[in-house]
Chains A and B, each alone.
Chain A
Amino acid sequence: MSTPNGQAFTVKPETAQAIDEILGHYPVKEAALLPALHKVQDEIGWLPVAAMDWVADRLELPRVRVYGVASFYTMFRRQQPGRHRLEICTNLSCSLMGAEHLREYLCRKLGIQPGKTTADGRITLSEVECLGSCGTAPVMLVDDEFVENLDPQKVDKILADLEARDHG
């Protein structure tokens, strides 16, 4: 398997091993497709075509099957995101608690619209549907971690923390 620039795509041995272990949970290999895509994405941050091809081969599936499945599910990222991902819920319970204002606030502070990445490639902002955390609204995922009971001060702190982590 190779990427367009000729380098072979591969995952860390731990990831490959975890996927092989998961295959044992199912009577057919195909059923491990979602967990396998998650494992690869967790390692490299997104799912380039070469990564999907690697999974297809490992699970002995036609590549188009894997592309079709990956494109159905919103969590599978087929475009490379920024170094950090902010995913803010704006469904009803969160919006009742100010999520739409926070979305605008984030857009202003980052200078981008939802679905976009800052020019320096640091932060991708997206708007997502209910995260199953409505009692502690508004809620946002910061690199997959739940941050709850948001307000502008908390958003400032999140951005400052990411800044410190990257440049500190």
Chain B
Amino acid sequence: MAEKILTARFETPDSHLLNTYQADGGYTALKKALTMKPEEVIELVKASGLRGRGGAGFPAGLKWSFVPKEAEKPKYLCVNADEGEPGTFKDRYLMELDPHAVIEGSAIACYAFGAHIAYIYVRGEFKVPMERMEQALAEAREAGLVGKNILDSGFDFDMWVHPGAGAYVCGEETALIESNEGHRGMPRLKPPFPAVVGLFGGPTVVNNVETLAFVPHIMNQGAEWFAKLGPERNGGTKMYGVSGHVKKPGIYELPMGTSLKEIIYDVCGGIRGDHELKAVIPGGSSTPVLTPDEIDVAMDFDSLAKIGTMLGSGAIIVMDETTCMVRAITRLAKFYSHESCGQCTPCREGLAWIHQVLVRIEGGQGREGDIDLLLDICDNVQGNTICPLGDACAMPVRGFIKKFRPEFEEHIQKAGCPIGPFPAPWAGSAKG
């Protein structure tokens, strides 16, 4: 098995408690960081090439360096634990099983760019992860690792849990900031970027949980070590989350750039019931779908971009030959349409229309020209909205049509679905 970093402690009994974390060397990275100059910490993280695990893959050190040194208003770190992109279920485990790693990474980040307060925005349904984070913060506060003058360094660092309340759009960084301020989660126009004007008007960094959990390891083991764990420009490991029709779904931490084929067939044991693979969504529901002849691809940011899709959150959704592609994308379009915050017309109207047209195709009422109509609507959505949620729907719709157009056409010609609903795994042969 390859080296595990973020999930290495998951099997440890009481891995969420401070004593086990410290016994495993926890908080030594923070101690070390506090002896360095903040700029040196940023340089180290920059040199490691750590890229954001929340979806866009933006270099974390670079993001921190955009925060102005001198600012009139306090600076903040927002830890993004909204985890709502369908297929994604990794941050939940980090918070449940290694909450102190998230706190330590957050403290180091705050020290690096000069913030004294971090909020971890946890999706409201995650009661246990939230309790674990709160318990860990209480322990850390008691031990002088969180609060005033942490570790007698003169540096103040506080961190609080902020619960979400069931709105996918709040995972988008500016909507998250609005929601953290007690507002409706409506994304803001950029610029200004959060690094300049963010939470409570102060310079703000928004980072994903997984991104921050890497930071202590980079402090301890060095930038070069991290960079070498993966391909060039795509360093580190990745927590891939596999769901759908594989024999062994779950979270697997593997070197960045592990082959998708290997993940499906070796790591996850192949397709349930030894069915044929039909389609794979490689990085969460907003990333364009791949066909079986495309899975010989390295699961990293750049390799997936090269073949027209994205690593996103590393959430792999596997579908076998029993799956109707029109039905699959219809379900996703329903989700995006439901989650639109409504402030941009192309997203609010466009996504509802996309969903409506897909429903009629799947239901056997599709019309000649509907497929081109869908592509047209996508054209009108993409690039014309405040936040990327509109694109997050248009991209996979386009992707499904591009890869499976004949299946859409067959629905229209036969005035019905040639495949039928997703079968129940417990109803006979599909059971893996």
Question: In this assembly, does B162 line the interface, its C-beta being within 8 Å of a C-beta of chain A?
Answer: yes
Shortest CB–CB separation between residue B136 and chain A, in angstroms? 16
Within 8 A of B (CB), among A67-83: 68-69, 72-76
Contact across chains for A129 and B86 when beta carbons are under 8 A apart: yes
Which chain A residues lie closer than 8 Å to B83 at the CB level? 132
Kindly identify which residue among A30, A69, A134 contacts B315, using a CB–CB cutoff of 8 Å: A134
Q: Which residues in chain B, 314-363, are within 8 Å of chain A measured between CB atoms?
A: 315, 317, 319, 323, 328, 331-332, 335, 338-339
With A28-B200, A135-B251 known as contacts, the answer to whether A34 contacts B165 (CB < 8 A) is yes
Q: Assess A135 versus B249: contact at CB under 8 Å? Given A130-B86, A144-B127.
A: yes
* Stretch among A5-13, A93-101, A113-121 lining the B interface: A93-101
A:93-144 near B, CB below 8 Å:
93, 95-98, 100-101, 128-137, 141, 144
CA distance A146 to B244 in the complex (A): 18
Q: Are B165 and A91 in contact (CB under 8 A)?
A: no
Contact call B84/A132, Cβ cutoff below 8 A: yes
By size class, the interface of chain B is 35 or more
Q: Is A20 an interface residue (CB 8 A)?
A: no
A95 CB, min distance to chain B CBs, angstroms: 5
Contacts of A91 in B (CB 8 A): 86, 285, 331-332, 335
Interface centre among A74, A96, A137 (most CB of B within 10 A): A96
Q: Is B2 an interface residue (CB 8 A)?
A: no
Alpha-carbon distance A44/B89, docked complex (angstroms): 30
Asked if B179 is at the interface of the complex by the 8 Å CB criterion, the answer is: yes
Q: Report the minimum CB–CB distance from A65 to chain B (whole Å).
A: 9
Q: A35 in the interface, Cβ–Cβ < 8 Å? A: yes
Cα-based distance from A68 to B186 in the complex (angstroms): 12
B398-430: CB near A (< 8 Å → 1, else 0) gives 000000000000000000000001111111000
CB distance from B156 to the nearest CB of A (A): 14
Q: Are A134 and B86 in contact (CB under 8 A)?
A: yes
- Alpha-carbon separation in the docked complex, A128 to B335 (Å): 10
- Cβ 8 A contact of A93, one of B84, B87, B128, B200: B87
Contacts of B180 in A (CB 8 A): 31
B92 adjacent to A96 (CB under 8 Å): no
Q: Cα distance A37–B162 when bound, in Å?
A: 12
Could you pull out 5 A-B pairs where Cβ atoms are within 8 angstroms? Answer: A32-B182, A93-B87, A129-B86, A137-B249, A144-B125
Q: A92-B281, A134-B243 are known contacts; what are 9 more A-B pairs with Cβ within 8 Å?
A: A34-B163, A34-B182, A38-B124, A73-B185, A92-B87, A98-B422, A132-B126, A133-B89, A135-B249
Where the two chains meet, the residues of A that have a C-beta atom closer than 8 Å to any C-beta of B are 25-28, 30-35, 37-38, 68-69, 72-76, 90-93, 95-98, 100-101, 128-137, 141, 144-146, 151-152
